[in-house]
Amino acid sequence: MTLTGTVRAGVEPNCMLLDSYLLIGGPRDQLRDGARVTVTGRVQADLVTTCQQGTPFIVESAKSA
């Protein structure tokens, strides 16, 4: 799955969201608040996180959009 958009910070520290997806993994230097990116990966809805928002999305690659 491929997503493109602007990353925003979640309510918990170190939690980054893209649309309604919680970004798990990936290069944090690119996946920062306000960055416009294209990410590829997969949804893992059964993953438990401390972020308390967004559907977990395992990032396999990311680039600036």
Number of structural domains (the chain) is 1
Question: Exposed/middle/buried for 1, CB within 10 Å: 0-12, 13-18, 19+?
Answer: exposed
The per-residue pLDDT for 65 is 86
pLDDT digits (tens, 9 = 90+) for 33-59: 999 999 999 999 999 999 999 999 999
Domain extent for 46: 2-64
Give the whole-angstrom CA distance, residue 64 versus residue 44. Answer: 23
Confidence of residue 20 (pLDDT cuts 50, 70, 90): very high
Say whether pLDDT at 31 is over 90: yes
pLDDT of res. 1: 97
